[in-house]
């Protein structure tokens, strides 16, 4: 599934109120300044409470002169069940760290004004989310916008005379006449699809505006999509990165899928549009390109636009390609044509001669560079970690990096050698007190003779003379990366800290191993990927330090499907299952979910299409049709606000287990979506997760 930007709320942990520069040659000083008060642990093993105590680094906006990096750190209060994000600046070499905000409301969408004299950001300090500005040291905090209902994102024009922003526009109620005189009526009258999406009912459109700006306020705002009932940016995950200004400030590029209802639910065909603010004309730059086209980015010299593109309509996991168009000749270049990997997080070099991007390869995300003149792609970084975003500073690159054992921090990266130096140490105080398990890569042969990379994570203080229970991790998606990402729920290290060996195979469907490997799973969730899972756990069960009688299988979303399916075919291998937001009944799922393009592509079509061989095979292998074979304890977890995989999928799976007289539990969250985002719910999730495993795999 796609990634959601989480807007975070206030917390109680007080950050130190200082804005003076700090020499961080002693990195423990930086950790103290940037973090909440030091937390002393009673054990070197990770717990749910420790996991929620980590500071979460996000964003890295480089100042116009390239000498200062602006970023944010989020901390959570379990007691208040909410979090807060504050802003910081730091030099590319890691010196001159400053905390520049100290407010009870989170700041986000932060960016430098083009002249570098102000920092703009969004905050709900006034009650609704508005644009604010402050000096680079955090002083003179001033509200710039006062838009009814608030705004959701913004960008300065390069000449600093205008501001682009996005906000929500209410949908017109076409049935308003029947509601006349019924102010307390709660019923929703619906006559088309896409009436709800991800975790919300679709009552609004997201639109792009621009307004005049004089350095103190904005006014004379104009909706460049006035009268159009379409989203820009795309919902539910699109943000301000799906818009851009041309360097001359005359053109706004934006991403939109100009469809509604059933048509919208069946198609992924979004386009890049160019709006001329002088003439008011709009032009479709990607007309005829039928898949997702998103995230336009003008080159600094204005001669090119780069963007991310998928080829095929209806396939949300198609290869994510890098495309470049010349703004005058309109000549398009498929930059990654001979590059069998995805490309994302684009960033132009200042000379407009190359583009940096990130891509996943064999379980790791790294930074790459595409040179326009030569058409050559070069891998910049290497190592067992993930680089997720990249930007250019005066002295090189700055990138956000994490790994299975280390949360996200910022690194300075040499653009030639790829050598990296860590420049933030937000979690040093906690990491210094924790023992992390060894992470190992192992190649395995699949049943059909393919090479499959499997990640293994061992418990801290691992003793090969002992026998350990093992967990098969079933990845969601079903497409997408299984990489080095430090996750705050499905965290391998916290599982290992509880005494489990984690087995995470890059089974069919995982990206980073070529498009053919990723695409194989479509229409075949039940086939080769299931075989890959069983190969991985069977191979590890042979190890002398793995107790083959204490194996579990865990997973969410498509990984939850895998757990439900394995429960019906595992032939006694596993002693415990955990499925979170999993698909249990494929026929019900086809008619319950919202993005029909996903169902039609990955399932082959509707279950009533009896002439469709792929669809017949898919629905014949729906996990609920094997429930008569269930014989193993199972924990089911689901959120009511999950509109991608509706909570009744989990409820019916749990009911089936109880009716089968199996030890089963149902952890139900009325206020969570496809994920678990609230601190106390997150800790309840972890405690329930490990209590269930410990009961059935350890006998605790």
Which distant-in-sequence residues (6+ apart) come within 8 Å of 115 by Cβ? 64, 160
Catalytic entry in 354, 557, 581, 622: 557
Where does 9-152 show beta strands of DSSP type E?
56-62, 69-77, 82-90, 98-99, 107-112, 119-123, 130-134, 142-143
Could you tell me if residue 46 is inside a domain?
Answer: no
- State the alpha helices, DSSP H only, in 146-276: 261-266
Q: Computed from CA positions of residues 337, 340, 345, 350, in that sequence, does the dihedral angle turn out positive or negative?
A: negative
Is 160 inside any structural domain? yes
Amino acid 30: pLDDT? 55
How many CA atoms within 13 Å lie on the side-chain side of 614?
Answer: 14
The residue from 106, 157, 642, 696 that is catalytic is 642
| pLDDT tens-place string over residues 83-129 | 999 999 999 999 999 999 999 899 999 999 999 999 999 999 999 99
Residue 162 vs residue 11, higher pLDDT? 162
At 591, which CATH number? 3.40.50.1820
**Radius of gyration from C-alpha coordinates of the chain:** 25
| Whether the bond into 332 is cis, omega within 30 of 0 | no
Average pLDDT over residues 635-652: 98
Question: Residue 134 domain-assigned?
Answer: no
Would you say the C-alpha torsion 418, 423, 424, 427 has a positive or negative sign? positive
Helix (H, G, I), strand (E, B) or coil at 249: coil
Q: Answer whether residue 17 shows pLDDT above 80.
A: no
Average pLDDT over residues 409-418: 98
Is residue 18 pLDDT above 60, yes or no?
no
Question: DSSP 3-state helix, strand, coil percentages of the chain (rounded to 5)?
Answer: 20, 30, 50
Shortest CA distance to 25 belongs to which of 97, 77, 123, 85?
Answer: 97
Q: What are phi and psi of 136, to 5 degrees?
A: -60, -20
Angstrom distance (rounded) from CA 535 to CA 452: 10
Q: Can you give the pLDDT at residue 700? A: 77
With 50 as the cut, is the pLDDT of residue 7 above it?
no
For the entire predicted model, the pTM comes to 0.94
Question: pLDDT tens, 448-477?
Answer: 999 999 999 999 999 999 999 999 999 999
Q: Which of 288, 308, 339 is the last residue of a domain?
A: 288
Predicted pLDDT of residue 416: 97
Query: For residue range 595-619, what is the model confidence (pLDDT) as tens digits?
Result: 999 999 999 999 999 999 999 999 9
Question: Is 223 among the catalytic positions?
Answer: no
Instruction: Give 193-226 pLDDT, tens digit per residue.
Output: 999 999 999 999 999 999 999 999 999 999 999 9
Q: What does the DSSP assignment read for 464-478?
A: TTS-EEEEEEE-SSS
pLDDT tens for each residue of 46-75 = 999 999 999 999 999 999 999 999 999 999
Count: domains in the chain = 2
Q: How many residues belong to the chain?
A: 700
CA 395, 396, 398 angle in degrees (round to 5)?
115
pLDDT interval class at 36 (50, 70, 90) = low
User: For residue 478, is the peptide bond before it cis, meaning its omega torsion is within 30 degrees of 0?
Assistant: yes
For residue 646, what are its two tokens? 């509706």
Partners of 442 in the β-ladder: 454
Q: Containing domain of residue 241, as a range?
A: 148-175+191-288
Domain contains 654: yes
Last residue of a domain, one of 239, 257, 288: 288
Mean pLDDT of the chain: 94
Tell me: pLDDT of 23 over 60. Answer: no
pLDDT band at 34 (very low <50, low <70, confident <90, very high): low
* 209 domain-assigned: yes
pLDDT > 60? residue 27 = no
365 assigned to some structural domain: no
Query: Mean pLDDT, to the nearest integer, of 281-305?
Result: 98
Residue 333, in any domain of the structure: no
* Final residue in a domain of this structure, among 288, 315, 350: 288
Question: 137 catalytic, yes or no?
Answer: no
Check whether 620 has a pLDDT greater than 70: yes
In a domain, 618, yes or no: yes
- Quick check: 209 and 166 in contact, CB under 8 A? yes
Q: Is 642 labeled as catalytic in the residue annotation?
A: yes
Asked if the model's pLDDT at residue 630 lies above 70, the reply is: yes
- Residue 560, H or E segment: helix 558-569
Cα–Cα distance measured from residue 561 to residue 552, given in angstroms and rounded to the nearest whole number:
15
What percentage of the chain carries pLDDT values higher than 70? 95
């Amino acid at each position: 599934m796609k990634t959601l930007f989480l807007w975070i709320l206030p917390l109680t942990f007080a950050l130190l109120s200082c804005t003076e520069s700090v020499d961080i040659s002693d990195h423990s000083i930086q950790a103290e300044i940037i973090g909440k008060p030091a937390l002393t642990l009673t054990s070197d093993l990770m717990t749910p409470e420790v996991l929620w105590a980590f500071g979460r680094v996000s964003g890295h906006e480089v100042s116009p002169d390239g000498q200062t990096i602006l970023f944010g750190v989020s901390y959570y209060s379990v007691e208040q069940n909410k979090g807060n994000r504050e802003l910081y600046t730091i030099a590319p070499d890691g010196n001159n760290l400053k905390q520049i905000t100290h407010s009870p409301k989170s700041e986000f969408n932060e960016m430098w004004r083009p002249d570098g004299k102000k920092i703009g950001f969004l905050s709900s300090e006034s009650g609704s989310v508005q644009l604010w500005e402050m000096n680079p040291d955090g002083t003179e905090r001033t509200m710039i916008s006062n838009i009814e209902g608030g705004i959701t994102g913004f960008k300065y024009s390069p000449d600093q005379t205008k501001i682009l922003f996005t906000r929500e526009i209410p949908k017109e109620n076409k049935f308003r006449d029947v509601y006349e005189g019924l102010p307390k009526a709660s019923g929703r009258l619906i006559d088309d699809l896409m009436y709800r999406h991800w975790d919300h009912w679709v009552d609004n459109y997201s639109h792009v505006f621009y307004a005049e700006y004089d350095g103190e306020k904005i006014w004379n705002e104009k909706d460049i999509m006035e009268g159009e009932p379409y989203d820009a940016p795309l919902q539910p995950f699109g943000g301000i990165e799906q818009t851009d200004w041309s360097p001359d400030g005359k053109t706004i590029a934006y991403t939109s899928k100009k469809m509604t209802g059933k048509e919208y639910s069946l198609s992924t065909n979004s386009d890049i549009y160019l709006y001329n603010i002088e003439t008011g004309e709009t032009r479709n730059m990607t007309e005829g390109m039928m898949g997702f086209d998103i995230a336009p980015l003008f080159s600094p010299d204005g001669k090119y636009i780069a963007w991310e593109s998928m080829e095929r309509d209806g396939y949300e996991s198609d290869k994510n390609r890098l495309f470049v168009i010349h703004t005058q000749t309109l000549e398009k270049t498929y930059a990654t044509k001979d590059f069998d990997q995805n490309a994302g997080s684009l960033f132009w070099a200042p000379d407009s001669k190359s583009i940096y991007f990130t891509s996943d390869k064999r379980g790791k995300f790294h930074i790459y560079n595409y040179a326009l003149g030569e058409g050559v792609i070069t891998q910049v970084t290497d190592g067992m970690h993930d680089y997720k975003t990249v930007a250019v500073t005066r002295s090189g690159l700055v990138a956000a990096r994490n790994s299975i054992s280390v949360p996200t921090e910022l690194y300075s990266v040499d653009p030639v050698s790829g050598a990296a130096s860590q420049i933030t140490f937000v979690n040093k105080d906690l990491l210094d007190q924790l023992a992390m398990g060894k992470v190992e890569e192992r190649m395995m042969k699949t049943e059909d003779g393919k090479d499959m990379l499997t990640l293994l994570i061992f418990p801290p203080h691992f003793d090969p003379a002992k026998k350990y229970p093992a967990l098969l991790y079933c990845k969601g998606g079903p497409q997408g990366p299984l990489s080095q990402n430090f996750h705050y729920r499905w965290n391998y290290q916290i599982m290992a800290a509880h005494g489990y060996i984690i087995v995470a195979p890059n089974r069919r469907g995982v990206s980073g191993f070529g498009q053919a490997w990723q695409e194989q799973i479509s229409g075949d969730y039940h086939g080769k990927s299931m075989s890959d899972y069983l190969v991985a756990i069977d191979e590890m069960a042979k190890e002398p330090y793995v107790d083959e009688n204490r194996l579990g299988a865990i997973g969410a979303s498509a990984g939850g499907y895998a757990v439900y399916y394995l429960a019906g075919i595992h032939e006694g291998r596993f002693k415990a299952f955990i499925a979170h937001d999993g698909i249990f009944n494929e026929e019900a799922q086809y008619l319950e979910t919202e993005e029909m393009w996903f169902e039609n592509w990955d399932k082959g079509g509707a279950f009533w299409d009896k002439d469709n061989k792929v669809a017949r095979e898919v629905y014949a292998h729906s996990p609920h049709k094997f429930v008569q074979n269930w014989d193993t304890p199972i924990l089911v977890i689901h959120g009511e606000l999950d509109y991608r995989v509706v909570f009744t999928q989990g409820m019916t799976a749990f009911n089936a287990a109880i009716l089968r007289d199996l030890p089963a539990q149902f952890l139900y969250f009325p206020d969570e979506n496809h994920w678990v985002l609230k601190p106390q719910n997150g800790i309840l999730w972890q405690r329930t997760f490990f209590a269930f495993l410990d009961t059935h795999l350890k006998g605790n």
